[in-house]
Amino acid sequence: MIETALKALFILLYATFVGFMFMGIIRIVTARIHRRVGPPIYQPILDTIKLLSKKSNITHGLIYDFGILYAVGATILAVMFIPLGSIGVLRAYGDLILITFLLEIPMLGIMFAAMSSGNPYAGIGAQRALLTLLAIQVPLGFAIVALAEFYGTFSTYEIVMAQQTMGWSIFHFPLLLAAIAYDLVLQAMFGKEPFDIMIAPGEISLGPMVEFGGKHMGLLQIQHAIALFAETLFFANIFLGGGVVTAFSSSILNTIAGLAVLLVKQVAVLLIATFMGAIFPRFTIDQAAKFYWKWPTIIAALGAVLASL
């Protein structure tokens, strides 16, 4: 019981901290591509502290508050199910389908909160976010199907373990296709260009985020950090072999090494998304839908069919 609680606390703190670092990395890397200096890596943490300590906060009602809490709570729930190296709280129940759903539902909380404010920008942002979700769901679904059919199990942890003997998923051709499709989907999940249609800064005033400020926005920053961590972690686990290290005799050393391995993989996933985001301009929503329903879907469906043979 206490051990579980400690593990959970560690996962939570680690995920939040690394997530904030990821947010900082995105900003620095983007700045360097733009030939700017960029903020220090800990800038997102400072921003969040500032937001949380605002003296005046507004609300639009119960749903406005609860939606935010729900988004944060659901993200914490999701991160507990994903195996983090050899540390896991609920990884025995870390079902692929469950995690895929759990990674999507924080958005539902944010949508509820944003829409309850009655701001039309939030409404149009919600519309765009949902259509993006609809667009990515097809390739995402096929990628998950490919994984489940290739390994014959839905357990994320077992998939990680299977990769220790069979080699990383991306070295098998059907799953390589699935991984490419999933990586394109991640771009929209992160909300990075060219698929940042739902927030679209300068176009619809950050869409769903338009009304949030103060501690609501601070909580959403925390949610964003954990979600960033969870999404990259999930990708690293299912496609890049996860972080299982057994080289050392001490289990603590193994755990730390596992975390380090995972971190490298996560940063790699993140950098790909950042590079893509820094080069491309924004799509319109129907372009995004048509894009996702074409190439990523074809690639992922091919992967799924090949995996099922």
Partner 1 sequence: MNELLIIIFAPLLGGVLAWALNVRGIRELLGVAGAAVPLAYLVKLYSELDASGQLSHSIDFAGFTFSFSLTHLTWVFAMIAGVVGLASTIAMVSTSRDGYEWLFALMSLTGAYGVFLSFDLLGFFIFWELMTVGSFMMVLKYSRSAGLKYFVLSVVGAFAMFLAIAKIYALSGSFAFPDVANAVYYAMGRGDLALVFGLFLVAFGVKAGMFPLHVWAPDAYSETNQSYTAMFSGVLSKTGVYGFILIYMLIGYRLMVEFGAFRSAPKFGYIIAFLGGLTIIVGGLLAALQEDIRKLFAYSSISQIGYILVAFGVGTSLSIEAGIYHAISHALFKGLFFLIVATIIYRTGKTTFADMGGLAEKMPFTFAMAFVAILSLAGIPPMAGFVSKWLIFEAVISQNLPILGGMVFFGSAIGFVYLIRFTYAVWFGQRPTDLDDTKDAPLPLAVAMAILAIPNIVFGIAPGLVVKELNKIFGGEIVTSPTLWELNLGFGRYNGLLILVWLIVGLLIAAVIYFLGAPVRKVPVTDTYQSGNPVTMEYNLTIRRNFFLPLKEALAFWLRISFDKLYRDIGAWVEDFAEVMRNYVYNGNVQSYAWYLALILLILAMWGV
Q: Which of residues 250-289 bind partner 1 (CB under 8 A)?
A: 284-286, 289
Name which of residues 176 to 195 contact partner 1 (CB under 8 A): none
* Residue appearing with tokens 């338009």: 210
Query: Cα(42)–Cα(53) distance, rounded to whole angstroms?
Result: 17
The number of angstroms, rounded, from the C-alpha of 87 to the middle of its chain's C-alpha atoms is 19
Query: Cα(113)–Cα(184) distance, rounded to whole angstroms?
Result: 28
Name which of residues 147 to 176 contact partner 1 (CB under 8 A): 148-149, 152-155
DSSP letter for each residue of 16-41: HHHHHHHHHHHHHHHHHHTT-----T
The least distance separating partner 1 from the CB of residue 118, rounded to whole angstroms, comes to 4
H or E stretch covering 178 = helix 173-190
Output 38 or 214, the one with its CB closest to partner 1.
Answer: 214
The torsion defined by the Cα of 297, 303, 308 and 309, in degrees rounded to 10, comes to: 130
Name which of residues 111 to 140 contact partner 1 (CB under 8 A): 111-112, 115-121, 123-124, 126-128, 130-131, 133-134, 137-138, 140
Query: Cα(205)–Cα(125) distance, rounded to whole angstroms?
Result: 9
Query: Cα(19)–Cα(226) distance, rounded to whole angstroms?
Result: 5
For residue 6, state whether it binds partner 1 (rule: CB under 8 A): no
H or E stretch covering 264 = helix 251-279
Q: What is the CA radius of gyration of the chain?
A: 19
Output 121 or 190, the one with its CB closest to partner 1.
Answer: 121
Name which of residues 10 to 69 contact partner 1 (CB under 8 A): 12, 52-61, 63, 65, 68-69
The binder of partner 1 chosen from 24, 83, 141, 296 (CB under 8 A): 141
The binder of partner 1 chosen from 26, 176, 244, 304 (CB under 8 A): 304
Q: Which range binds partner 1 by CB under 8 A, 85-93, 241-249, 255-263, 272-280?
A: 85-93
Q: Could you give the 3-state DSSP secondary structure of residue 84? A: strand
Name the nearest CA neighbour of 148 among 121, 175, 124, 123: 175
Output 30 or 153, the one with its CB closest to partner 1.
Answer: 153
Name which of residues 209 to 248 contact partner 1 (CB under 8 A): 210-211, 214-215, 218-219, 222
For residue 202, state whether it binds partner 1 (rule: CB under 8 A): no
Cis bond upstream, residue 106 (ω within 30): no
First to last CA, the chain: 43
Q: Is the dihedral of CA 212, 218, 219, 222 positive or negative?
A: positive
The binder of partner 1 chosen from 11, 44, 45, 75 (CB under 8 A): 75
Output 217 or 236, the one with its CB closest to partner 1.
Answer: 217
Output 47 or 275, the one with its CB closest to partner 1.
Answer: 47
The binder of partner 1 chosen from 43, 86, 205, 255 (CB under 8 A): 205
Output 132 or 254, the one with its CB closest to partner 1.
Answer: 132
The least distance separating partner 1 from the CB of residue 270, rounded to whole angstroms, comes to 23
Output 43 or 215, the one with its CB closest to partner 1.
Answer: 215
